[in-house]
A = this chain, B = another copy of it.
Amino acid sequence: MKLPHVAIVGATGAVGVEMLLCLEQRNFQLGELTLLASARSAGKKMKFRGEEIVVKELTHDAFEGIDIALFSAGGGISLEFAPSAAAAGAVVIDNSSAFRMEEGVPLVVPEINPEAAKDRPKGIIANPNCTTIISLMALAPLHEKFVLKSVIASSYQAVSGSGAQGIIELEEQVKAIATGQEFTPRVYPRQIAFNVIPQVDSFTDNGYTKEEMKMANEGRKILGHDTLKVSCTCVRVPVYRSHSVSITAQFEQEPELDKARAAYDGKAGVHVVDDPSQMIFPVPLDTTGKDDCLVGRIRKSLVLDNALDIWVVGDQVRKGAALNAVQIAEIL
């Protein structure tokens, strides 16, 4: 069998760099690797398995001979170039939100709905929103046992979700405050250092942000659960890389606590870290640079019947983006 020729589109971005790292760390079997980026970044050299690869400019005819194209360069680039890549015969795995809700485009979390990746009439597979992936890693094992009815969530989202610029903005603001310098927020509408911002992405007509609606719409599509109700408040916090989500999940069947904990036994990519008596619970720093999501604070809701309150953390750049995309490539 010929090993696939893989391309990363947006190779020099925060997620692109992490995709390269995931391919290397997971010893991904590939024949050739092409790195693509904007004209501005073309010519840069990036290391992969000890060798230097020169980044090429992204053009419509850059996809000749490519089998798998991992896109992470924003929705605009995906809309413009993913169809060219698919037409050239590549399977596109797209990290942007451009195609996620489109009919005929599977939306895949490999631990949850790997079978969906098989049927891709448009040659495109979408990688879900980061907060959605991390939340579903906690919810899917419970859904399998107790059948989800509704999800109420509040997120604590890292600045890596805004790409390298978000990380730089937090670093710069912390420095400016320490030295008494003035600064003007560029990436976020308000200061993010020593502050939290209850807004991620732009607002929609119902008062929810696009990010909040992604949790609802993408969650339903990935779980194949049209009647699932989701209400979410997405909040940016001054954390560098890992997202956390506080979730109240209601089920059709009673989720007894021991059965809920056992639901994670043997599941790939998610672990329970939950022992209040020993002050053990997961925090975002625990998952930074790691593959697996961690679930804790599992307890019965004091408000809703058949419901649990839980807490999940996961690396936004990794399981929330790059790793999930590479895992999709692995199941192809």
Contacts and interface: CB of A to CB of B under 8 A. Distances in A.
A231 B309 contact: yes
Nearest to A250: B303
A130 interface: no
A152 B196 CA distance: 20
Contacts of A195: 239, 283-285
Interface in A229-267: 229-231, 233, 235, 237-240, 244, 246, 248, 257
Contacts of A298: 207
A302 B229 contact: yes
Contacts of A170: 194
A91 interface: no
Given A154-B246, A156-B196, A248-B152, A299 B208 contact: yes
- How many residues of A sit at the interface, in one of the four size bands? 35 or more
A71 interface: no
Contact of A302 (B178, B203, B230): B230
A1 interface: no
A293 interface: no
Interface string A146-157: 000011101010
Contact of A309 (B156, B194, B233, B302): B233
A interface, over-half SS: mixed
A15 to B, nearest CB: 20
Given A154-B246, A175-B178, A208-B299, 16 more contacts: A150-B304, A154-B233, A156-B237, A174-B174, A190-B285, A195-B283, A195-B284, A195-B285, A196-B284, A199-B279, A203-B279, A229-B302, A233-B297, A233-B311, A235-B244, A248-B248
13 contacts: A150-B304, A152-B248, A178-B178, A196-B244, A198-B244, A198-B297, A198-B311, A199-B279, A207-B276, A230-B302, A231-B301, A231-B304, A235-B244
